[in-house]
């Protein structure tokens, strides 16, 4: 083995709980909106708008919130890994 490559024990894991949760946050809107049979109906109406339409529009802010949550989780993970790297280098 080459000495240029760090040992696998030195590398952080690729899949962490924060990254997995971020992935779930990203996948939820896709599943909810691609499963059309779950919302392909006209009732219940909301302020005169059929369910089919307001359900999709309700997902716009929900998707934005989930995407922002995923962003925060990934950013926190990157900060934690950077701190671990810098802490390990200082020893």
pLDDT tens track for 9-25: 666 667 888 899 999 99
**Is omega for the bond preceding 48 within 30 degrees of 0, making it cis?**
no
Alpha-carbon radius of gyration of the chain: 21
Give the DSSP letter of residue 46: B
How far apart (Å, rounded) are the C-alpha atoms in residues 80 and 60? 30
Q: Which residues contact 68 (CB under 8 A, 6 or more apart)?
A: none
Give pLDDT, residue 14. 79
Residue 55 is predicted with a pLDDT of 93
Q: Please state the pTM of the whole predicted model.
A: 0.76
């Amino acid at each position: 083995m080459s000495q240029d490559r760090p040992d696998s024990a030195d590398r952080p894991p690729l899949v962490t709980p924060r990254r997995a949760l971020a992935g779930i946050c990203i996948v939820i809107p896709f599943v909810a909106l691609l499963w059309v049979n779950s919302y392909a109906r006209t009732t219940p109406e909301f302020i005169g708008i059929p369910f089919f339409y307001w359900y999709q529009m309700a997902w716009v802010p929900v998707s934005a919130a989930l995407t922002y949550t995923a962003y925060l989780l990934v950013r926190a993970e990157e900060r934690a890994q950077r701190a671990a790297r810098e802490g390990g280098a200082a020893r």
